[in-house]
Structure 1
Amino acid sequence: MIPEKILWKVYAGALGAVTTIVSQKVVEGVWKYVTGDEETPEPNDPEVSTVKAISWALASGIGIAGSQLLMHRFVNKRWMKFSSVNPITGKSLGDEDDD
């Protein structure tokens, strides 16, 4: 039988991959809607303005990083409900801390 922790890592990895793909498509759609451009800019293209390249990098970075953060928090909360262990600290939810 596969250990639970490995199953949760596979679950988080698969959910992370799907989240990245979906959030990339959402960011591209929002970019096209807001700017009216038919395509997203290629930031490495010297013909694309620096402002547009930086704007695209920031928009895509914030969109994808934000969705990944939300996805990891979702998975970690599910893990805590399932196992009663904080996946970040490794502490049992019933442990008292003397700090």
Structure 2
Amino acid sequence: MEISEKLVWGLVTAATSTIATAVAVKAVTAAWELATGETPPEPNDPQVPLRRALTWALASGVGIGLTQLLANRFAASRWAAATGKPAPRVGKTTLRI
């Protein structure tokens, strides 16, 4: 696999993730406002009740994470359709404790 192919794929995923995150933040914020009638809390503010901060953190994390997952899978399927090859694996992330 050529370096240029990995570079192009890296740019595609960076653009896809950036756009997906921006859309997800707006969507999650709008959903929160619709459900609660209030703007989302600032989770780091000590005046915000812990339960409310945790609920916002969980809702925004799940919403943004799922959006990024779906966007990246879409990008990978479009890459495969355009190139005839699966999307490159840029790197594997591992956590060692």
TM-score (norm 2): 0.79
Runs of 4+ in structure 1 deviating by more than 4 angstroms, as ranges, are none
Deviation at 1:88, TM superposition (A): 5.6
Identity among equivalent pairs (%) = 40
Aligned to 1:23: 24
2:61 is equivalent to residue 68 of structure 1: no
Rounded to whole Å, the distance in 1 between the matches of 2:5 and 2:57 is 37
Aligned to 1:44: 44
CA contact (8 A) 2:25 2:64 kept: yes
Worse-superposed segment, 11-20 or 53-62 = 11-20
Amino acid across the alignment from 1:7? V
Deviation at 1:54, TM superposition (A): 0.5
Aligned to 1:78: 78
Structure number with greater Rg is: 1
Worse-superposed segment, 40-49 or 53-62 = 40-49
Rounded to whole Å, the distance in 2 between the matches of 1:87 and 1:20 is 21
Q: CA RMSD in A?
A: 2.0
Rounded to whole Å, the distance in 2 between the matches of 1:33 and 1:72 is 27
TM-score (norm 1): 0.78
Rounded to whole Å, the distance in 1 between the matches of 2:44 and 2:4 is 44
Rounded to whole Å, the distance in 1 between the matches of 2:22 and 2:7 is 23
Count how many residue pairs are aligned between Structure 1 and Structure 2. Answer: 88
CA contact (8 A) 2:33 2:40 kept: yes
Aligned to 2:92: none
> Where does structure 1 lack aligned partners over 5 or more consecutive residues?
90-99
> Where does structure 2 lack aligned partners over 5 or more consecutive residues?
90-97
